[in-house]
Structure 1
Amino acid sequence: MNRSRLARFTVALGSFACAIAFAAASGGCAIGHLIGGMLQNEEYQKLVETPPEYADLSGKRIAVVVDADLSVTYNHPKLVEMVTTGVTMRIGRDVPEAAVVHPQTILAWQWRTPQWNAMPYADLCESLNVDRVVFIDIYEYRLNPPGNRWLWEGVCAASVGVIEREGFDPDMFADSFNVTSNFPSVTGVERTAASEGQIETGLLAQFIQKTAWLFHDHLEPKYPDKYRPEAQAQR
């Protein structure tokens, strides 16, 4: 056990001992409530094995292609690059035998092909010479509530479709999903409480993770609304 983990364990053990001592002084019922609450919190932190929603990327050559509304890219010019890179890297790492096209190759192709998003889906596969295209169309991206720049309320929402080169109809998505991420998870976070970079980093990390999860086995919180990632990180 390294020093930082030992320190956290010591603090946690001390806190637990103090809580037990206080509960004992308050009576047996308090001890029962304390232990029950601890067990409930432990339940909220459980992760469950979850299969992919779409499992046919394994062994395929894959391109991750991201599109976004011009109003979004004007205000967030690095968004497409960050999502393309993040999702590509995760699929390449976590999908068995997946051969992903390098994100810079995709971005350069988009730059050279200004009308690419008007192409039939089948032509995307042909032009990129891939078996699958993971097409991410970001239709909402913001860091603040509409009309209120004094609060942080990040939202990233996209439709995600899979194009199969050899599919029954390669001009239609073989499967499609909707992915929405919100960060921070609590409301009313004032602008002075965090920087724009922190909010954007947290929002994109969550969105990229949820998008990549569609395509590989992973662990998800059993109770997403109760799960506290910061508590998990301290273990």
Structure 2
Amino acid sequence: MRRPLVVIVLPLVGMFVLGGCAVGKLLGGMAQNAEYQKEIEVHPVYSGLENKTVAVIVDVDLVTLYQYPDVAVTLAANIARRVQANVPGITVLAPSRVSQWQFRTPQWNAMQYSEIAERLNVDRVVHVDIYEYRLHPPGNQWIWDGVCAANIGIIERDGYDPDNYVDRFNISVAFPDMTGVTRENATAGGVQTALWTLFTRETAWLFFTHLEPKHPKYYNGRIKEGRYDG
């Protein structure tokens, strides 16, 4: 009864003795994969939203708004929800109130920054000024090449100079992350939802400590909501 056991074990032993190079490659590959799945803690670039009342306001040019009427309200709501869930002590003004104020005040983007904060009655305003938004490359409606790019300005109502941004950032995301994706491979709704998700994540990450993949190109996991969900 012992002979079958010897027959099974010896080939395994031989594999490790004679195939040391292969085993080394296997272990090296496992170590490399573990490295690719590592996550790093990243601190906020701007922490001044903590324990403050905040409004998120999105500005989009009329041409873009005509083509994509939901982009401003959707991004404002998504960013507001994400920072409310993750920034300590923050109180975010309801996005519906902000959008209603924008509608009632059509020249709001010509106001002094301090007046915007006063009218909304908040300590901080996250001003998202979208300067590029598209789903296709110019002149080609058959290819998906989505881009959402904006300047993010922070208004501090109680700051030294409330009529100027205390800090400013640029966020630009693209989807798909490969060329040649056509209408046969994806839908407009899918591309737009992906752009909104990426842009919301990158913008909100400016304001709270979070986890990011150390090697995003090779990362294949998911981190909890409020952390990484790329």
Same fold? TM cut 0.5: yes
Shorter-chain TM-score bucket reads 0.7 to 0.9
Match of 2:110 among 104, 107, 118: 118
- Provide the residue aligned with 2:140 in structure 1: 148
The 1:51–1:145 alpha-carbon spacing in structure 2 relative to 1, beyond 3 Å, is same
Match in the other structure for 2:218: 227
* CA distance, structure 1, for counterparts of residue 118 and residue 141 of structure 2: 43
1:31: Cα distance to partner?
A: 3.3
1:167 maps to 2:159: yes
Deviations along 1:60-91, one digit per CA (max 9) or x if unpaired, are 01000100111211110000010000000011
Determine the structure 1 residue equivalent to 2:186.
194
Superposition TM-score, scaled by structure 2 size? 0.85
Amino acid at match of 2:38: K
Task: Give me the whole-angstrom Cα distance separating, in 2, the residues matched to 1:101 and 1:68.
Answer: 20
**Structure whose alpha-carbon radius of gyration is higher:** 2
Secondary structure of the residue aligned to 1:192 is coil
Q: Secondary structure at the match of 1:147?
A: coil
Matched, 1:60 2:52: yes
Q: Please, what TM-score do these two structures have when normalized by structure 1?
A: 0.84
The equivalent residue for 2:126 is 134
Q: SS state of the match for residue 135, structure 1?
A: strand
Q: 2:62 aligns with which of 52, 59, 70?
A: 70
Name which of structure 1's ranges 187-196 and 176-185 shifts more when overlaid on structure 2. Answer: 187-196
Q: Deviations over 1:166-217 (max 9, x none)?
A: 1111000000000011112222222211111111111110100100000001
Mapped to 1, the partners of 2:150 and 2:207 lie a distance apart of 16
- 2:176 aligned residue: 184
Task: Look up the match of 1:42.
Answer: 34
| Residues 25-34 or 95-104, more deviating | 25-34
Q: 1:108 to 1:191 in 2, by over 3 A?
A: same
Measured on the aligned residues, the alpha-carbon RMSD in Å equals 1.9
CA distance in 2, matches of 1:139, 1:46: 34
More helix, by proportion? 1
Q: Gaps spanning 5+ residues in structure 1: where? A: 1-20
Any gaps of 5 or more consecutive residues in structure 2? 1-11, 224-230
Matched residue SS, 1:214: helix
Of 150-159 and 120-129, more deviation after overlay is shown by 150-159
Cα displacement string for residues 7-55 of structure 1 (whole angstroms, at most 9, x for unaligned residues): xxxxxxxxxxxxxx9xx69944333333323322321222110000000
Q: Secondary structure at the match of 2:203?
A: helix
Tell me how far apart the structure 1 counterparts of residues 34 and 195 of structure 2 sit (CA, whole Å).
Answer: 25
Q: Distance in 2 between matches of 1:93 and 1:43?
A: 29
For these two proteins, the number of residue pairs brought into alignment is: 209
Opposite residue 232 of structure 1, the aligned amino acid is: G
Match of 1:217 in 2: 209
Most deviating of 113-122 and 43-52? 43-52
User: Which has the larger displacement, 52-61 or 33-42?
Assistant: 33-42
**Secondary structure class of the residue paired with 1:232:** coil
Structure-2 separation of matches of 1:212 and 1:179: 10
Runs of 4+ off more than 3 Å: 24-28
Separation in structure 2 between the aligned mates of residue 100 and residue 112 of structure 1, nearest angstrom: 20
1:212 partner letter: A
- CA distance in 2 between counterparts of 1:185 and 1:41 reads 22
> Match for residue 80 of structure 1?
72
